[in-house]
Structure 1
Amino acid sequence: MSKVKDCLKELKFDDKGLIPVVIQEVETNEVLMLAYMNETSLSATLETGRTHFWSRSRGKLWKKGEVSGCEQIVHEIFVDCDEDSLLIKVHQKGGACHTGYKSCFYRKINVKQDMIEIVSRKVFHPHEKYGKKEKQEENLTG
């Protein structure tokens, strides 16, 4: 068994200093989202027990749920065999997806019927959490 600091030194961040992280619900094993961490966000996650990520689009650190209240409480962190990705099992409060769904993976590609289906229900309305209009999801069923 290794110490946490020793294990973290072995992680392989990409050329931008990021590592992909799969977030999974601890009770159901449902995959909630894929995000990226840098050393700072990983350290913040370890220190607080709440997930923090690096926003590639905004170029800044963010705590999951800081605006919406839909935070993720960390239960376990796994390092993959190549040490270039992480799996974090969390207890999700509310939805993980900024579009209002529990999981970011709420759309299923149905190849046989040549359509994309919405396979879950919203757990919140984004305009209530973020104060902005929702993106129209045309040609989707659910």
Structure 2
Amino acid sequence: MRKKGIVIGTVLSMLLVVLTGCGKSTAGLTKVRLQEVAHSIFYAPMYVALEEGYFQEEGLDVELTNGNGADKVMTAMIAGEADIGFMGPEATIYVYNEGNSDYAVNFAQLTQRAGNFLVGRSNDQNFAWSDLKGKTVIGGRAGGIHISM
């Protein structure tokens, strides 16, 4: 019985030591509610910074949520449910053009390249952009920044 107690005590002690480093304290950090428009490989540096604790090192407790669309991200910002939104500038333009005095301010560019790409039904080794003349091409969602450019 004594041997069993020692084994259980040892295992619990080891778990305590291992799990002590797992929790990330957010005491004393500034809470920032960040809402992204969609998960994207282009946001990889941000995901790494979140996972590696870089924001916490700078005194920030960043809470990331997915808004599933720029319109929803903007709505969350206007409603006070998000402090920062990752989205294209079109949502801000729409809100501003509606005469809303509480519109978002675009202040940074997260990615250096657009995440747009062309997808075809078959592989064409000799593709040229001129091949699209007369073809039907589906762009981004209606009203999206890709259509407006």
Could you say which structure has the higher helix fraction?
2
TM range (shorter): under 0.3
TM-score, normalised to structure 2's length? 0.25
Calculate the TM-score normalised by the size of structure 1. 0.26
Structure whose residues are more often strand by fraction: 1
